[in-house]
């Protein structure tokens, strides 16, 4: 075996695995906030059509944005507390 090649240890694999887990966890944030916003808006539009109003979609939009931010904060704080 040459000096520049060393066997892969379990620590190396665990480090790579934890890196990819962290990347996956943080990349989900790019989808959670827009998804919550769109779902809240769609629920508001559906309620507007059902109740024949034209303002509930704004409430759904605001609730969706708030839910997205809550999930964003939960994800970030839970990943910071884990070693």
Residue scoring higher pLDDT (77 or 69)? 69
pTM of the model: 0.70
∠ Cα 62 49 33 (to 5°): 25
The per-residue pLDDT for 77 is 86
47 vs 79: which has the higher pLDDT: 47
Q: Report pLDDT digits (tens) over 3-60.
A: 556 555 555 566 667 888 878 888 888 899 999 999 999 999 999 999 999 999 999 9
Rounded CA separation 2/11 (Å): 21
What's the pLDDT at 80? 66
Per-residue H/E/C for the chain: CCCCCCCCCHHHHHHHHHHHHHHHHHHCHHHHHHHHHHHHHHHHHHHHHHHCCCCHHHHHHHHHHHHHHHHHHHHHHHHHHCC
């Amino acid at each position: 075996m040459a000096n520049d090649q060393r066997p892969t240890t379990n620590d190396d694999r665990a480090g790579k695995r934890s890196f990819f887990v962290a990347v996956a966890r943080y990349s989900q944030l790019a989808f959670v906030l827009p998804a919550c916003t769109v779902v809240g808006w769609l629920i508001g539009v559906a309620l507007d059509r059902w109740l024949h109003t034209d303002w509930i979609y704004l409430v759904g939009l605001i609730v969706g944005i708030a839910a997205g931010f809550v999930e964003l904060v939960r994800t970030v704080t839970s990943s910071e507390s884990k070693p």
